[in-house]
Amino acid sequence: MELEEFKNKLRKYKKKDIIVTEHADLQAFSRRIDLEEVKENLLNPVKLVHFNREEEYPNEERYECFFEYASNLYHKYAVVLNRNIIIVTVIVINRRWQGEIKP
pTM: 0.88
Domain positions in the chain are: 3-101
Is the predicted pLDDT of residue 103 greater than 50, yes or no?
Answer: no
User: Tens of pLDDT along 41-52?
Assistant: 999 999 999 999
pLDDT band at 72 (very low <50, low <70, confident <90, very high): confident
- Amino acid, res. 76: K
Name the average pLDDT for the chain: 90
Mean pLDDT confidence for 19-40: 96
Distance CA 13, CA 84 (A): 7
78 closest CA partner among 40, 36, 27: 27
Distance CA 97, CA 72 (A): 9
The fraction of the chain above a pLDDT of 70, given in percent, is 91
The fraction of the chain above a pLDDT of 90, given in percent, is 78
Is the predicted pLDDT of residue 59 greater than 70, yes or no?
Answer: yes
pLDDT band at 100 (very low <50, low <70, confident <90, very high): low
| Whole-number pLDDT of residue 94 | 83
List Cβ neighbours of 69 (8 Å cut-off, separation of 6 or more): 47, 75
